[in-house]
Structure 1
Amino acid sequence: MLTPELLFALRNLPLAAKRAAEGFLAGAHASRRHGVGMEFSQYRPYLPGDDLRRLDWRLAARSDRYYIRESEVDTSLTVNLLLDASASMNHRDDNGLRKLDYARLLLAALAYLAQKQGDAVGLSILSPAGLQHLGALSDTRQLPRIYHALETTEATGAFPSTTTLAPLTARRQRALTVCVSDLYEEDGEITRLLGRLRATSGDVLLLHLVAGNELNFSYKGPVTFRDLETGQTVQLDADQQRGTYQQQLQAWLRDTAQQARRQGLDYHLLNTAEPLDGALREFLKRRQQMG
């Protein structure tokens, strides 16, 4: 299993993206039996390096089995990737990785999958400094552009204003939008943006990043916490507050998921201490439903 730490240790985002995507496909195939009734004359198992345009995405979404079709090619789609680059994404997990590091790896792997499938893929980086936008393209030069933008991005400040983000929803275009965010917001600004994207693009996959040490509250004894966006601090005894914290966290996660699904978003919680496989699988499922 390729952990986020191992991928990050490569210090090479294009290589990490390729290994994450192809390792996931190959590993998922190898871990499952072939099942009965399949017409093997029309399929062969996926092998790293195969053209992903020939992958049977519908079969993958139904069963997590990865096979190459010998004839058909799926219809290409437009995939728009969104990265929340506000300062809260600098939160560091016990494995040493920031949420931003995990998000870079994840979005690079998703871009690799989409581009190899023949999709037009674009990237928007959302930060208070302004909207960094790469329009969706399907040419071979797009992946290096996306990798460079991800590698050079730093998380700063608060989530950008509605005015800054207006170009994202300026026109209707059917697409699969994939947003990676920790969903820390001051006044519903992320929620409103995703609602508008749902109305203009039609399909939004929301990948909610939560660090492992946030989920299990691994801190001990007296601790000072600082809000990465406002600078405010709070001091507490972690051992005394653990139960209350975990109850409040679970309530927030439950409410967040319910609100997202009421908006028609495809919501998934991701633990940054775990491999990228869950997110890649959800991307394939959503893509198949649009194909």
Structure 2
Amino acid sequence: MAETKTPEFSNDVRRAIGEGRTLAASMPRLMLEARRIAATVVHGLHGRRRAGVGENFWQYRRFTSGEPAHRVDWRRSARDDNLYVREREWEAAHTVWIWPDRSPSMSFVSDERRDTKLERSLTIAFALAEILVEGGERVGVPGVMRPTASRNVIDTIAQSVLHDASGRTSLPPNFSASRLSEVILLSDFWSPIDEIRATLTQVAGSGVHGHLVQVVDPAEETFPYSGRVEFVEPEGAGSITAGRAETWRKDYEVRLAQHRDALRAEAAQRGWTFTIHRTDRPVGDLLLRLHARLGAGGDTADYRNQASASANQGAA
């Protein structure tokens, strides 16, 4: 998606190509904001705990007819006239790969009072990583950081991003994720749909479940431009000037809808989810939706159910 700027405001053009704000200067603020959001979201969550194979006690439940008798917890059952089974918490570490797009187009912002798309994507990544690690998961960043369950996960990701010398491409690098992993891609997804399709095909090749989050500036949805406007593509594709930009609005809206329909179709074809997040909207609402979807993918959920069932059969 081309960035849009009027020719007379050179500061806006510099901001559109990522020179208006330095990531290093913004990072402390983003980390602090992510911790605040994560703490708020965690307070409202019921957690991701579930019964399964593990050592930590989770809960008692009523004994079901047909279960092996050795599963009965006789000490608890002696307290009343019912039989109880002691359930343990599932402990298999779940890895979530979070990839925030850091390409030049993500530095666009139409209003200095808001985050750039890059700043918002990093805030989402930091906060989500904190929530997941708090819940016992591991978090990694493709091509940047190996999965970790460190309580200092925000600091670890921030340092890894700041010291990453690889090219800042619009789509994640090729990487192999295990079938039990989940992938969250945070990007504006303005790349050609063929390139996006190729990337999703590679990432989803092992059966991994994933989530696409399109992070956009409000101006990229509403196209509020009028008069003579220079549209600058910050990743090397040049620029074009419109004499009356308002006459482009309808065509722009049609192209935007077509592109998003294609994104939804690519996600749905692989059993992935697709979400749109605007930088003028709260991060907490998005995190709650993502958290609810994580672990709900067919392969991951089926595997965990099968693993739990196998363990129960073994105990029998």
Tell me if TM exceeds 0.5. yes
Between stretches 212-221 and 245-254, larger displacement belongs to 245-254
CA-CA distance at 1:243 after TM superposition: 2.1
Identity rate of aligned residues, in percent?
19
Match of 1:209 in 2: 215
Q: CA 1:193–1:248 in structure 2 vs 1: closer, same or farther (change >3 Å)?
A: closer
CA distance in 2, matches of 1:97, 1:13: 10
CA-CA distance at 1:251 after TM superposition: 2.2
The question of 1:258 aligning with 2:265 is answered yes
CA-CA distance at 1:173 after TM superposition: 4.3
Match of 1:57 in 2: 48
Q: CA 1:158–1:121 in structure 2 vs 1: closer, same or farther (change >3 Å)?
A: closer
Counterpart mapping for 1:1-291 below 5 A: 11-26=28-43, 29=44, 55-57=46-48, 73=89, 75=91, 76-94=93-111, 95-124=113-142, 131=143, 133-150=144-161, 158-159=169-170, 165-166=173-174, 168-169=175-176, 172-186=178-192, 188-200=194-206, 202-236=208-242, 237-289=244-296, 290=300
Q: Secondary structure at the match of 1:188?
A: helix
CA-CA distance at 1:152 after TM superposition: 5.9
Match of 2:79 in 1: none
| TM-score of the pair, normalised by structure 1 | 0.70
Letter in 2 for 1:56: G
CA-CA distance at 1:73 after TM superposition: 4.6
CA distance in 1, matches of 2:157, 2:166: 16
Q: Secondary structure at the match of 1:270?
A: strand
Residues 78 and 174 of structure 1 are in contact (CA less than 8 Å); yes or no, is this contact kept in structure 2?
yes
Residues 33 and 123 of structure 2 are in contact (CA less than 8 Å); yes or no, is this contact kept in structure 1?
yes
Q: CA 1:110–1:58 in structure 2 vs 1: closer, same or farther (change >3 Å)?
A: same
| Structure 2: gaps of 5 or more residues | 1-24, 51-56, 60-87, 302-316
CA distance in 2, matches of 1:114, 1:160: 23
Q: Secondary structure at the match of 2:159?
A: helix
Q: CA 1:225–1:189 in structure 2 vs 1: closer, same or farther (change >3 Å)?
A: same
Letter in 1 for 2:261: R
Kindly tell me the number of residue pairs found equivalent between the two proteins.
Answer: 237
Q: CA 1:138–1:25 in structure 2 vs 1: closer, same or farther (change >3 Å)?
A: closer
Residues 209 and 272 of structure 1 are in contact (CA less than 8 Å); yes or no, is this contact kept in structure 2?
yes
Q: Secondary structure at the match of 2:213?
A: strand
User: CA RMSD for the aligned pairs?
Assistant: 3.1
| TM-score of the pair, normalised by structure 2 | 0.65
CA distance in 1, matches of 2:241, 2:164: 31
Q: Secondary structure at the match of 2:125?
A: helix
| Structure 1: gaps of 5 or more residues | 1-7, 30-45, 47-54, 60-68, 125-130
Between stretches 181-190 and 212-221, larger displacement belongs to 181-190
Letter in 2 for 1:256: L
Residues 89 and 100 of structure 1 are in contact (CA less than 8 Å); yes or no, is this contact kept in structure 2?
yes
CA distance in 2, matches of 1:208, 1:180: 6
Residues 138 and 148 of structure 2 are in contact (CA less than 8 Å); yes or no, is this contact kept in structure 1?
yes
Q: Secondary structure at the match of 2:276?
A: strand
Letter in 1 for 2:94: L
CA-CA distance at 1:218 after TM superposition: 1.8
CA distance in 1, matches of 2:124, 2:164: 14
